[in-house]
Amino acid sequence: MKNLDFEQFMGSFSFDGRLAEADIAGSVAHVQMLMKTGILKSSDGRKIVSGLNSILKSIKSGWKLPKEEDIHFAVEKELIRRIGPVGGKMHMARSRNDQVALDLRIYLRQQADEIVGLINEFQNIIIKKAEDNIDVIMPGFTHLQPAQPVLAAHHLLAYGWMLQRDKERLEDCRKRINISPLGSAALAGTSFKIDRYYTAKLLGFDSITENSLDAVSDRDFAIEFVFCVSMISLHLTRFCEEIILWMNPELGYIKISDKFTSGSSIMPQKRNPDCAEVIRGKSGRIFGSLMAMLTIVKSLPLAYNRDLQEDKQPIFDSFDTMEAVLSLTAPLIANMVLNREAIASRLDSGYLDATTLMEYLIAKGVPQRTAHGIVGRLVRLAMEQKVPLKKLPLQEFRNAYNGIDDGVFSVLGADNAVGAMKSYGSTSPKQVRKQIDDWKAKLNKG
């Protein structure tokens, strides 16, 4: 059995070290506030700020802080080593409890912004891929069965909208992240007459927490962040699943660059969609981080409990995983090529224009249920003759319903079925073109 002492078990420096810059930024703002309110002499405060900035400069140059129990003690101990006992005055009027909550909020604010930026880049790739393939019609599916024809661009844009909601969730979550807990101290506040609004302003927070107990004891803002990341991952699993299906030679809808596939160890002819599969698999890791966060906070009494030390690793891992996933999914899609011939070859199977034919009959006054039955019989007839609906003679249509004329052929076939769509947000070429133009304006503005 591995020997592990108590200090090793209790320490968090091995993973919370990445909060160093946020910790130093918070300490600098705190000391500036202490000077402003007269709690700390300006000469001492300037010395502390200078020392903190020198530590920050060293960290940015690649120097590593000596290992301590956690990042907060590590910074403070190094500060005292550099400037002497006056460094110990940095911590008055606060606690590690509000300090760590502050650091986490600063960190998550930055990471939320980074993920939003990565989503923007990915959306731009989706829009370009949609525009480049706006003339491609493909089968649309329900229950994984051929249903109706859609523009490939329309299909791709659906993921742009999913990612848009993911982005908006993150941006909304950021509002709840961007509230300063600094000055809440351990749980009850402090007897020093501090200025919490001033530190909040210095650190770019929108407001301050209203209740000191709540400020140090809850991590709902962090759980929400991991939830938002989980939703992004969920949507990417759907995209990757379709990429895997489309790449299968049985469909052959797409070709993926060899940079994102791998060969088989035993079958030399195979190329496997490994990148899409690993992205799909990473969702389990991210979902696990969300479950860990929920479980860590579950049933905790007020106020701070050491259980909350365990929130860092799932937060950090969910961000790191999502950063990697988005950084790879974007070029994967950018390098994806639609196999137009293979897609076109599938359009006459599955009778994708049947719904449009039904709506043609409804427009002529036929009740929907009646029209549904008529088209069902026509599809069976076409199946027996092994032809698409558009190849049936006009007389067969008239035998099914004598109100049909040769105008029926204007709604048959994948091209006509797609062109017949008129509703807002539909797969009609006009509506899809509008979506693309709106997306380009939205992303350029952003």
The domains located in the chain, with CATH, are 6-92 (1.10.275.10), 97-184+213-344 (1.20.200.10), 354-445 (1.10.40.30)
Q: What is the per-residue pLDDT for 7? A: 67
pLDDT averaged over consecutive 10-residue blocks of the chain (446 residues)? 66 81 98 98 98 97 91 95 97 96 97 97 97 96 94 97 97 98 97 98 98 96 98 97 94 92 78 92 97 96 91 96 96 96 92 95 95 96 95 95 93 95 95 95 82
CA 159 – CA 156 distance, rounded (Å): 6
CA 354 – CA 331 distance, rounded (Å): 37
Q: What is the per-residue pLDDT for 278? A: 94
Q: What is the per-residue pLDDT for 16? A: 79
Which pTM does this prediction carry? 0.93
Q: Which residues are catalytic?
A: 143, 264
The residues, ordered by sequence, that sit 6+ positions from 335 with a Cβ below 8 Å of its Cβ are 256, 257, 259, 260
Do residues 43 and 199 make contact, with C-beta atoms less than 8 angstroms apart? no
SS (H, E, C) 253-293: CEECCHHHCEECCCCCCCEECHHHHHHHHHHHHHHHHHHHH
Q: What is the per-residue pLDDT for 155? A: 97
Assigned token pair, 224: 């929400």
Match 């660059």 to its residue by tokens: 257
Measuring CA to CA, which residue among 8, 181, 198 is closest to residue 97? 181
Assigned token pair, 316: 């950090």
The residues, ordered by sequence, that sit 6+ positions from 262 with a Cβ below 8 Å of its Cβ are 271, 272, 274
The residues, ordered by sequence, that sit 6+ positions from 126 with a Cβ below 8 Å of its Cβ are 156, 157, 159, 160, 163, 333
